[in-house]
Amino acid sequence: MKCGGWRSACGIVALAILSSMLGLEGCMTSRQPAPVSERNRPPSAPIIAKPAPASAPASAPAPVAGSVEDPRPEFYTVKKGDTLFTIALDHGLDHKDLRDWNNLENPNVILVGRQLRLRASTAVMTTPLKTAAKVEGKPVGTALPPVAVNEAIKSQPKAVKLPYSDQALAQLSVQPQTQPVAPPPVAVVEPRPQDKPAVIATPGDDEKVDWGWPASGKVLSTFNESTNLKGVGIGGKLGQSVNASAPGTVLYSGDGIRGYGKLVIIKHNKAYISVYAHNNQLLVKEGQNVAKGQKIADMGASDSAQVKLHFEIRRFGKPVDPIKLLPADHPA
């Protein structure tokens, strides 16, 4: 009994020592820290630019079958003795157009050596950048600030580190709710329109003119390039009727071109004009539309040694032989 009691007491002591050692080991064991989560804000999407379509190398437009290209240059250099009226006549243009195209404050004064534009300039249209959709409450069409093409908006990812605590652990266990991200604005770059090609006259506008003799009478002189005879001279009587050779619009009516006297110029289409010089009285005004055979002046002898009509037909400003275009049956 005594030995058995001793053994029981020894077992109890041994169990107490073992429990104490296990408790100490548990206290010495270190806890593993909770993992730290880094939440990145999604970077903003880059602005995508719509590139302009590749343009082919500039080249002259192919003429339409049967059409004739305008051979007149784009610019003319003023020479000594030139006036706005003579330059317009030599190129088959309206002197008012020349004045407007070149911003001439005083069309009676043009400097020698100055370059004059002989056709209307082509304006280049540009359009601002526009948003493709409504972004952040801004309406469609709001201009974007200048941004280099294909340049991305840079953003730095942000991470938040929290010290270990029960509260931090609880926060990390909650799944964050992501807010829908609005689509980034898209910069649309619209291509610049190409410069307009030179005007091409169609056969109907260019060659088909119904010509008629401007006056009856004897043909005193004929067209001759070598002797600088730019038209035909038709003799007649003072006050005799001078008629429009074809329908058109009066470009000029006056006496501002030396050597022509009182003069009428009519534009018939994109290519042809007709000239009526040495008149006694002018009966039409600039900008007036006239019909074929309509009386436009009385024959006279202004700037001429005798009563006659000097008549010219010019194609793109260059004189051509009227006899080749007028009817064969000339009224004598």
Could you tell me the residue ranges of all domains in the chain? 71-117, 207-324
Q: Are 243 and 294 contacting, i.e. CB atoms less than 8 angstroms apart?
A: yes
Q: Is the pLDDT confidence value at 232 over 70? A: yes
Q: Which of 76, 85, 62, 49 is nearest to 260 (CA)?
A: 85
Residue 120 is predicted with a pLDDT of 86
pLDDT band for 199, please (50, 70, 90 cuts): very low
Residues 146-175: what's their mean pLDDT?
56
Residue 27 is predicted with a pLDDT of 45
Nearest-angstrom CA–CA distance, 118 and 316: 12
E strands within the chain? 68-69, 75-77, 115-117, 200-201, 219-221, 232-235, 241-243, 248-254, 262-267, 272-282, 289-290, 295-299, 308-315, 318-320
List the beta bridge partners of residue 187. none
Q: Which helix (H) or strand (E) holds 84?
A: helix 84-90
Give the number of residues written for the chain.
332
Residue 193 to residues 119, 120, 187, 197: CA-CA distances in angstroms? 19, 17, 18, 12
Domain spanning 71-117, CATH architecture: Roll (3.10)
Least confident of 24-33, 202-211, 240-249, 289-298: 24-33
Q: Are 311 and 320 contacting, i.e. CB atoms less than 8 angstroms apart?
A: no
Higher-pLDDT residue of 61, 162: 162
Q: Is the pLDDT confidence value at 26 over 60? A: no
Q: Is the pLDDT confidence value at 61 over 50? A: no
Which pTM was predicted?
A: 0.56
Domain spanning 207-324, CATH architecture: Distorted Sandwich (2.70)
- Model confidence pLDDT, tens digit, residues 86-139: 998 888 898 888 889 998 888 888 889 989 988 887 655 555 555 444 444 555
Residue 198 is predicted with a pLDDT of 38
Residue 105 is predicted with a pLDDT of 84
What count of other Cβ atoms lies within 10 Å of the Cβ of residue 92?
Answer: 21
pLDDT band for 70, please (50, 70, 90 cuts): confident
Residues 60-73: what's their mean pLDDT?
58
Residues 9-37: what's their mean pLDDT?
53
Residue 19 is predicted with a pLDDT of 55
Q: Is the pLDDT confidence value at 205 over 90? A: no
Residue 269 to residues 105, 210, 225, 257, 306: CA-CA distances in angstroms? 28, 11, 24, 22, 32
Residue 305 is predicted with a pLDDT of 93
71-117 and 207-324 in the same fold: no
